[in-house]
Chains A and B, each alone.
Chain A
Amino acid sequence: MKIKDAEIIALMQNPRTLDKGIRVLMDAYQSRLYWHIRRIIVDGDLAQDTLQETFIKAYQNFHQFKNDSQLYTWLYRIATNEALQQINKLKKMQKTDEDPEYYMQNLVADNTHSDAEEIQIFLQRAIQSLPEKQKLVFMMRYYDDLPYEEISKIVDMSVGTLKTNYHYAKQKIEEYIKENYER
């Protein structure tokens, strides 16, 4: 992956190969970034738009990328910010009397495969019941297996705080599933 990142960076930094660079970058990261965004936003169409916007921003602002950080960390940061902006817009558009967490949990049921396991649906609902920071930390650690140091750069939080947040998030999810899921 590191060699590939170096190639992408070299292509993106040269104006002549910039277009080729963005294609290689999209091929390499579209799946990871899409699922990261999708778990935050849940809605499929909105997740597509957000991924598209992430790549456009990466293309337009690549001159701001510093080689001292990982390429995927930088891309995750853009994707996370875009996703959170979309979530905030969604919350503003909602009815004031409706609980945003409840709305997101219902959205999970509407967007899952018909053959999806029930426990998996409960897990996603439990994730949507978490506060925003805990949700982000849990998803990046549990699904993407990102090191705390890299998550720290993405969400601007200390490693200690991240570890605490992950611990509480995991605890809350397990409690949610124990309470709500019946085999």
Chain B
Amino acid sequence: MKDFDLEKLERKNIYKVPENMFENIQDKVLSEIKADKKAPIFKLNWGYAAAASLALIFGATFMYQFNSDSSANGDSNGNYADNRTVPKKESQLAYETLASDLTSVENSNQRVERQMDIKPVVSQVVNNNSGNQNKKAVKTANEIHMNEYLESLPNSEIAELANNSSQDVYLDLYN
């Protein structure tokens, strides 16, 4: 084809078009818009998101620390409970009693060795408001056991304890 002028050609739409096409398109658009309205649109606000993240981080850190503190306290409580329930060994009791007695002036309050002897002492410390009768009973029991203990010690040890006790007299003045 030698002579062809595009401007002279009729402008036609030659493609096939289904019936009621535009009506169908409009119906689809309107139904899509309605569905879009019903569905809530969540728009992410970066400011709020950052604030929420920080709150979450701080909250999580606080909770972690709180839990670790409480667990540490729980352990200490457990240990405390254990200390109360587990009886002390006889040698430990003897050492503690001896150490406390060395600071005392009166012989009658010195050196309590056995576990049985400790119980009245502890009860005496805890129940400060208990009556004089109880104190007397504790004293007499302590005296008996103290004498037994002193008898069991060799002379050299008694001499050493006597030296220590004479030094502690001055300390006891401030008690």
Q: Which A residues fall within an 8 A CB radius of B?
A: 19, 22-23, 26, 30-31, 34-35, 38, 42, 44, 48, 51-52, 55-56, 59-60, 111-113, 116-117, 119-121, 123-124, 142-143, 170, 173-174, 177-178, 181-183
Contacts and interface: CB of A to CB of B under 8 A. Distances in A.
Interface of A, helix, strand, loop or mixed by DSSP? helix
Interface in B1-18: 1-2, 4-6, 9, 11-18
Nearest to B29: A55
Contacts of A174: 4-6
Contact of A173 (B1, B6, B29): B6
Contacts of B25: 26, 30, 34, 48, 51-52, 55
A112 B4 contact: no
Nearest to A142: B11
B129 to A, nearest CB: 81
B144 interface: no
23 contacts: A19-B30, A31-B22, A34-B21, A44-B15, A44-B18, A48-B24, A48-B25, A56-B29, A56-B32, A60-B36, A111-B16, A112-B16, A113-B15, A113-B16, A116-B12, A120-B9, A121-B14, A142-B11, A177-B1, A177-B4, A177-B6, A178-B2, A181-B1
B80 to A, nearest CB: 67
Contacts, number: 81
Interface of B: 1-2, 4-6, 9, 11-18, 21-22, 24-26, 28-30, 32-33, 36
Contacts of A23: 26, 30
Contacts of B24: 48
Contact of B29 (A26, A112, A124, A143): A26
